[in-house]
Each structure stands twice: as C-alpha cells, then as structure tokens.
Amino acid sequence: MNLARLVVVLALMFTFVMTVSAIDKKPFGKTSDGREVFLYTLKNQNGMEVVITNFGGDVVSMKAPDRDGKYADIALGFDTVADYEKQGPYFGALIGRYGNRLAGGKFTLDGKTYQVPTNDGPNALHGGKVGFDKRVWDAKESSDASGQHLHLHYLSKDGEEGFPGNLNADVTYTLDNKNELRIDYLATTDKDTVLNLTNHTYFNLKGQGEGDILEHQIMINADRFTPVDAHLIPTGELKPVEGTPFDLRKAVAIGAHINDDNEQLKLGRGYDHNWVLNTGGKMATAAKVVEPTTGRVLEVLTDQPGIQFYTGNFLDGTAKGKGKVYNYRNGFCLETQHFPDSPNHPNFPTTELKPGQKFKSTTIYRFSTDKKK
Ligand code: BGC
C-alpha cells in the first residue's frame, strides 16, 4: 500500500471510530429559570454506560456488569431536572465551592472573616443554599483513544454564596475501556479563596433501589478518621481507628458494626465521617467495596487526603426516582475530599487557593467483578 492510500485508510478508520464513539446528547428539560439542560451518555466498548447531566454535573445513572455479565444501574438518581433542582440528597452531584460542612458558615482567610449562607442547622453544607450541584455547567463532549469525555465548566463569580474570588472550575468525566470512570478537577481563582470539590454519587452495587447496602463489604485505607460533634463538625482530632467500628482497613460488611453502641456512630446516625487516607496525597486506592451477591466491585482511587464515607443515613423514602423509592441506608457515598471544615482547623491540610495556583485533582471509580466464594 502506498503512503497516500495508507493515509486515506487511516483517515477513514479515524472517522469510523469517531462516529461510532460519539457521545449521545439529548434534552433533559428546562430549569425553573428556563435554561435548557442535557443528558450525555458516555459508553465504553464493554457495554458500561454513564449518563451525566450538565445540571450540577450530576451522574444520573451508571450501568455496570455483575459477575455473570448482567448490567444494572448502580447509582441512585432522579427522572427530571426539577427533582434535582428541588430535592436535597445531592444524588450524583458535583459539590462546591466547599464540600461538606463549614461550622457556623464561617471561615477566616487573610485575617478577614467570611459568613456564607447556612443550610444545615447552624452550618453551611456542600457550598450553601445554591451550591455547584444546582448550577448549569457549560458542557463539551469529546472522544479519543483514552475513552469518552464530558468536559464541564462553571464560573463561580466573586461573592457567589459568600465566597471570595472568581473561581473557574473545570471537571472532566472520562469513561474508558477498563471500566473506570475518572473525574479530573481543575480550578483557578483571581482572589484568595477556599475550596473543596467532590462528587456525591450514591452507589448500590446490587442495583439502585434494591434495598439497603449493609451487606456490601467495605475497605478504607486509613489509620485515622476525624471525629465530629453533634452538628457533624470535626472536633479537630485525628483519631486512630484501631479498636473502633471505624477500623475498615480489612474488608468488613458495612452493617457489621454500624449499629454498635458508639458515640460517633450515634452522632452520624451511622457512618458519616471523614477518613484520613494513608495515601499521603498520592494517587492510590482509598477504598474498595464488594457486593457479595452480584460480585460487583468498586474501587476508589484518589490523590485527595480524605474520603467521606456516608451510608445514606438521611434517606427516608422521601426521595424517589427511576421507578424506585430510596429508603434509609439504600445507598452509600465515597466522597474524595479535603477534610470538612478545614478552614477552621489549622492542623488539617489547607483548602486555600491563591491566584496563580492551580487546584488539580483526580478521582477514579474503577469497576470490576469478583468470583463467587
Ligand atoms: C454528608 C451528610 C449529608 C449528605 C447530604 C454527606 O456528604 O456527610 O451529612 O447529609 O452529604 O446528602
């Protein structure tokens, strides 16, 4: 084959690959202020599918195979954008500007105290009244050899929800052919600010709406966690997990100790705590969850210093979606993050971002299956 022919053949192959792997985009309706939002379906060669909306960057569904190759949707979610707009469980959402709680909605930066709106008793939770999860993100799709990507961008203006600085947030979701959903976060600011970005997907590896998650086996790669007070604000202590129900270093059923007579479990109504990862800010396995009946395995890798393991203790059957009712502990979240309320704890890794700096972080949800024991 001469060179010209080879070039034509390669160009045709390239066009073919790009055509078959184009991301499906369809309307998801309008927000209450009339803005049109979309659903983007990322697919891989194995049959995995992840649907994301540019409203809040929410992962709406995630289809993953069990050990017999049977696919199920393993992410809790809603049917309409109105539900995502009105309801508060943060299903699948991108969280910002500050993930988890800020005590009293206050923090001090460069000697100035900021008061942000409170939305969780006395505290600010997940970015305040209108966090990143309730914003319309600009979206752009692309595909290449590494997988299918959805690029999302949001400019959080100086003063929005009380936070200083124009913050440009870029989040890219990538689904690859190794059954990994990768989330790359990038942020810059033009004034000193604080930030803590995460994703709030609720998983049920049996299938969404298929009951509680107590039989799932969990491992968290952490020797310490951050205990909380009655309002779920960290006390500042980094407490060893040794000898407590928070010792998840070896895989154990989520339900094995969740109802133990333990003060921290009572305060969280179950697990709702930040673990101090042993990975020292390096990209590595933070947590692994195995669902014994289906064999589905989720591994979470991150370069963040912490992970919030939340067992859906506030789900009470009010939230309904995708033909299911989401009851108490019907989903779990593994939110990779900096520690809650960090700006008020100088001993925690800093969440400050300054002009000229780039916040960059990656989290991977890796799916596989386990053989029957
Ligand atoms: C928090 C929970 C909160 C939930 C909201 C989690 O990240 O840790 O306390 O109730 O988000 O859905």
**ω into 97 cis (within 30 of 0):** yes
d(CA 159, CA 210): 42
pLDDT of residue 4: 74
Residue 133 Cβ contacting ligand 1 at under 6 Å: no
- Please, are residues 203 and 181 in contact by the beta-carbon 8 Å criterion? no
pLDDT (mean) for 300-328: 97
- Is the pLDDT at 16 greater than 60? The verdict is no
Are the CB atoms for 152 and 170 separated by under 8 Å?
A: yes
Categorize the per-residue pLDDT at 19 as very low, low, confident or very high, splitting at 50, 70 and 90. Answer: very low
CA distances from 227 to 41, 97, 116, 256, 267 (A): 39, 23, 24, 20, 9
Q: Which of 126, 216, 335, 338 is catalytic?
A: 335
Q: Where are the beta strands (DSSP E) in 311-358?
A: 320-321, 324-325, 333-337, 352-353
pLDDT of residue 20: 46
Give yes or no: 126 in active site: no
For residue 17, the model assigns a pLDDT of: 53
14 vs 147, 176, 338, CA distance in Å? 14, 18, 41
Confidence at 12, pLDDT banded by 50, 70, 90: low
What pLDDT score does 21 carry? 67
Amino acid identity for residue 168 in this structure:
N
- Strand duo 352-353 + 94-95: pairing: unpaired
Mean pLDDT of 122-144: 97
Q: Can you tell me which atom of ligand 1 is nearest the CA of 335?
A: 7
Strand ranges inside 5-48, DSSP E: 24-30, 36-43
71 in ligand 1 pocket by Cβ < 6 Å?
no
Q: Is the CB of 100 under 6 A from ligand 1?
A: yes
**pLDDT confidence band for 18 (50 / 70 / 90):** very low
Rg (C-alpha) for the chain, rounded Å, is 21
pTM: 0.94
* Residue 200 falls in the annotated catalytic set: yes
How much is the average pLDDT of 53-61?
Answer: 98
Q: Has residue 235 got a pLDDT over 60?
A: yes
